[in-house]
């Protein structure tokens, strides 16, 4: 690949951002709606939010919950997914349960979990954990299923135990697919974080967003949308960097994850 | 797979669900959890059956389904259309790709307040949110499917004198169908999730609204009913899509 193409690839998303903001600006100017501020007005409100100490603490608390929920989900889901991929019995055991849980919005469990655990951090982190788990399990499962049988035979012939095979052969071989799942999970963690805070309405980024909506502070609403959107795009880009480093040997199938479920 | 192995698998799969319900019942029976917080499963399921035959609850389901389908269909039309065109034309690809790269990881729920302000509190804002969320998996899998179509197929069609537009419709689209349907399946699950969330945030009807009403009055039984209903709806829709898939992909080596 030539370097100009590489530069183009790096600049293109930036251009897309600018284009979207410009389209927003034009639309807002054309509509002249009180509840629809222009992109510039919204961006001017961003520093005010980030400068406000309480808002900043709220947002950081949200991010902390998200990080804990995401890490816990990844730690549990990858081994489970790999086991499901390698053992038909384990897969048959868990698959129907997962299919039943899949269409249930995890954030919708928030009211029930709040009844049991209160509105604190535990409830919100648990919801994020649930939301992230499913795609990670699914992709680990698919990845482990696709591991070439011959490699496992070679491993077994060289005297690796089943557990060693799983860690030394299946895990690295399934890693590209697992990381695709993690990437989906990361975006999902952000979505679940916002929704859970929106429903619990006590603290966090989602709370700021919807409180501003209720109070008619439209600048703040749109500024929060910019902040949350930037978080999503930033986290995704950062993760993509890590992924590219970890699985340098595997040419990415496609540079965007397919499932944002 | 023999039918016997299949039925063992089914039994094995039902086991954790049965265990979960047994655990649930156990928690209630041994009074580890108060009934007000965790109603027994029997009560929840009988309440569900009782609700399913009432007219008002059916209205809620219909409202949810209407939004779900409209949003999902818009996402399918846009996703398949844009995905195909982006795979076929380098110029459009160069525009669409960075846009998708920026928009796909954006948490769409955060856009919901903006959609509310722009489109109002009725059906439109919820449909728009469902469509925005379901769009990207469908678009990406269409694009992926269409850009990995075997070149020989396209060359053969060109050699037979097929015009470009028809190649897209008659060769590329069918060849990309498995991938498109995988994207649709993901999009459908997302639609279920999102429509429910949107109804929970602001709505006067729909299953999400039923949950919120129950939560405000601390009716634990009524909170479980819409959740189980959306899970069942998801399963049914998934089965329907699976049936459509095996019909559309008849003749493919492994459907």
CATH number at residue B80: 1.10.3720.10
Residues of A within 8 A of B61 (CB-CB) are none
- pLDDT at position A6 is 63
3-state SS, residue A75 = helix
Asked whether residue A156 is assigned to any structural domain, the reply reads: yes
Asked whether residue A155 is assigned to any structural domain, the reply reads: yes
Tokens in use for A154?
């070679």
With cut-offs at 50, 70 and 90, classify the pLDDT of residue A3. Answer: low
Residues of B within 8 A of A103 (CB-CB) are 189, 192-193, 230-231, 233-235, 237-238
Residues B27 and B125 in one domain: no
State the total domains in chain B. Answer: 2
Tokens in use for B19?
């265990």
Distance from CA of A255 to the nearest CA of B (A): 9
Residues B71 and B125 in one domain: yes
Residues B85 and B46 in one domain: yes
Interface touch B140/A255, C-beta < 8 Å: no
Asked whether residue A59 is assigned to any structural domain, the reply reads: yes
The whole-chain average pLDDT of chain B stands at: 85
pLDDT at B26 over 80: yes
Residues B117 and B202 in one domain: yes
Mean pLDDT along residues B223-247: 88
Does the pTM exceed 0.90?
no
Residues B148 and B207 in one domain: yes
Residues B24 and B107 in one domain: no
Higher-pLDDT residue of A90, B70: B70
- Write out residues 106-135 of A within 8 Å (CB-CB) of B: 106-109, 111-112, 115-116
Residues B158 and B177 in one domain: yes
Residues of B within 8 A of A97 (CB-CB) are 13, 16-17, 20
pLDDT at A71 over 80: yes
Residues B228 and B134 in one domain: yes
Asked whether residue B255 is assigned to any structural domain, the reply reads: no
Range in A78-87, A114-123, A183-192, A229-238 the model is least confident about = A114-123
Asked whether residue A259 is assigned to any structural domain, the reply reads: no
Long-range contacts of A52-58 (CB under 8 A, 24+ apart): A55/A208, A58/A203, A58/A204, A58/A205, A58/A207, A58/A208
> pLDDT per residue over B157-207, tens digit each?
888 888 878 888 888 888 888 888 888 988 888 888 888 888 888 878 888
Asked whether residue A50 is assigned to any structural domain, the reply reads: yes
The whole-chain average pLDDT of chain A stands at: 81
Angle of CA points A65, A68, A72, to nearest 5°: 140
Mean pLDDT along residues B47-56: 88
Interface test with A, best of B27, B64, B106, B132 (most A CBs within 10 A): B106
Comparing CB atoms, the residue among A13, A105, A190 nearest residue B98 is A13
Interface touch B107/A187, C-beta < 8 Å: yes
Asked whether residue A238 is assigned to any structural domain, the reply reads: yes
Domain boundaries, position B18: 1-33
Comparing CB atoms, the residue among B17, B107, B235 nearest residue A191 is B107
Residues B7 and B97 in one domain: no
Asked whether residue A3 is assigned to any structural domain, the reply reads: no
- pLDDT at position A241 is 84
> pLDDT per residue over B83-118, tens digit each?
988 888 888 888 888 888 888 888 888 888 888 888
Asked whether residue A16 is assigned to any structural domain, the reply reads: no
Domain boundaries, position A75: 35-246
Burial class, B27, CB count within 10 angstroms (exposed 0-12 / middle 13-18 / buried 19+): middle
In angstroms, the CA A65 to CA A42 distance is 27
Higher-pLDDT residue of B65, B104: B65
Q: What is the DSSP string of B166-195?
A: HHIIIIIHHHHHHHHHHHHHHHHHHHHHHH
Is A159 an 8 Å CB contact of chain B?
no
pLDDT at A249 over 80: no
Residues of A within 8 A of B227 (CB-CB) are 104, 108-109, 112
Interface touch A95/B13, C-beta < 8 Å: yes
Identify the CA nearest to A38 among candidates A229, A207, A226: A226
Interface touch A94/B16, C-beta < 8 Å: yes
Mean pLDDT along residues A82-93: 86
Is B71 an 8 Å CB contact of chain A?
no
Residues B48 and B24 in one domain: no
Identify the CA nearest to A21 among candidates B102, B95, B116: B102
- Write out residues 150-189 of B within 8 Å (CB-CB) of A: 182-183, 186, 189
Q: Name the residue in chain A with its Cα closest to that of B13.
A: A93
CATH number at residue A132: 1.10.3720.10
State the total domains in chain A. Answer: 1
Residues of B within 8 A of A106 (CB-CB) are 193
Residues B206 and B166 in one domain: yes
Interface test with B, best of A17, A49, A89, A92 (most B CBs within 10 A): A92
- pLDDT at position A9 is 66
Range in A120-134, A246-260, B27-41 the model is least confident about = A246-260
With cut-offs at 50, 70 and 90, classify the pLDDT of residue A227. Answer: confident
Q: What DSSP state is assigned to residue B35?
A: T
Complex ipTM > 0.90: no
Residues of A within 8 A of B235 (CB-CB) are 99-100, 103
Residues B26 and B52 in one domain: no
Mean pLDDT along residues B148-163: 83
Comparing CB atoms, the residue among A15, A105, A115 nearest residue B197 is A105
Asked whether residue B135 is assigned to any structural domain, the reply reads: yes
Asked whether residue B142 is assigned to any structural domain, the reply reads: yes
Asked whether residue B12 is assigned to any structural domain, the reply reads: yes
Residues of A within 8 A of B215 (CB-CB) are 111-112
pLDDT at A258 over 60: no
- pLDDT at position B253 is 67
Interface touch B140/A105, C-beta < 8 Å: no
């Amino acid at each position: 690949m030539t370097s100009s193409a590489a530069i183009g690839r790096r600049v293109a998303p930036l251009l897309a951002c600018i284009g979207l903001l410009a389209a927003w600006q034009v639309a807002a100017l054309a509509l002249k709606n009180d509840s629809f501020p222009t992109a510039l007005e919204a961006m001017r409100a961003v520093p005010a939010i980030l400068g406000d100490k309480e808002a900043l603490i709220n947002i950081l608390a949200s991010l902390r919950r998200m990080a804990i929920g995401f890490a816990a989900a990844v730690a549990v889901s990858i081994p489970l997914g790999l086991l499901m991929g390698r053992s038909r019995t384990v897969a048959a055991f868990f698959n129907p349960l997962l299919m039943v849980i899949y269409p249930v919005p995890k954030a919708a469990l928030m009211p029930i979990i709040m009844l049991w655990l209160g509105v604190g951090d535990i409830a919100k982190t648990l919801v994020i954990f649930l939301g992230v788990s499913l795609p990670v399990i699914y992709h680990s499962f698919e990845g482990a299923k696709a591991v070439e049988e011959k490699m496992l035979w070679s491993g077994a012939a060289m005297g690796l135990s089943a557990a060693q095979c799983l860690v030394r052969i299946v895990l690295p071989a399934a890693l590209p697919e697992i990381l695709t799942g993690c990437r989906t999970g990361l975006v999902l963690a952000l979505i679940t974080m916002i929704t859970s805070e929106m429903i619990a309405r006590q603290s966090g980024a989602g709370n700021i967003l919807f409180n501003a909506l209720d109070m008619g502070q439209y600048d703040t609403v749109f500024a929060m949308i910019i902040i949350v959107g930037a978080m999503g795009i930033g986290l995704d880009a950062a993760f993509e960097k890590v992924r590219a480093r970890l699985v340098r040997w595997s040419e990415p199938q496609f540079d965007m994850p397919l499932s944002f479920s | 797979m023999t039918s016997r192995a299949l039925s063992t698998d089914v039994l094995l799969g039902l086991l954790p669900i049965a265990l979960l319900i047994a655990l649930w019942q156990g928690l209630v029976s041994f009074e580890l959890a108060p009934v007000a917080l965790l109603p027994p499963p029997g009560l929840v399921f009988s309440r569900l059956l009782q609700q399913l035959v009432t007219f008002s609850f059916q209205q809620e389901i219909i409202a949810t389904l209407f939004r779900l389908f409209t949003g999902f269909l818009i996402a399918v039309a846009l996703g398949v259309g844009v995905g195909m065109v982006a795979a076929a034309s380098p110029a459009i690809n160069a525009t669409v790709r960075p846009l998708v790269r920026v928009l796909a990881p954006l948490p769409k729920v955060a856009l919901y307040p903006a959609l509310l302000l722009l489109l109002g509190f009725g059906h439109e804002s919820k449909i728009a949110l469902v469509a925005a969320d379901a769009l990207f998996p469908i678009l990406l899998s269409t694009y992926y499917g269409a850009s990995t179509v075997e070149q020989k197929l396209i060359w053969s069609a060109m050699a037979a004198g097929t015009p470009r537009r028809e190649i897209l419709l008659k060769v590329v689209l069918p060849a990309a169908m498995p991938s498109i349907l995988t994207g649709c399946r993901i999009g459908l699950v997302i639609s279920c999730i999102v429509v429910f969330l949107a109804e929970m945030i602001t709505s006067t009807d729909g299953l999400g609204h039923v949950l919120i009403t129950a939560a405000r009055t601390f009716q634990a039984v009524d909170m479980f009913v819409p959740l189980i209903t959306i899970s069942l709806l998801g399963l049914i829709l998934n089965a329907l899509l699976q049936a459509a898939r095996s019909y559309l992909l008849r003749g493919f080596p492994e459907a």
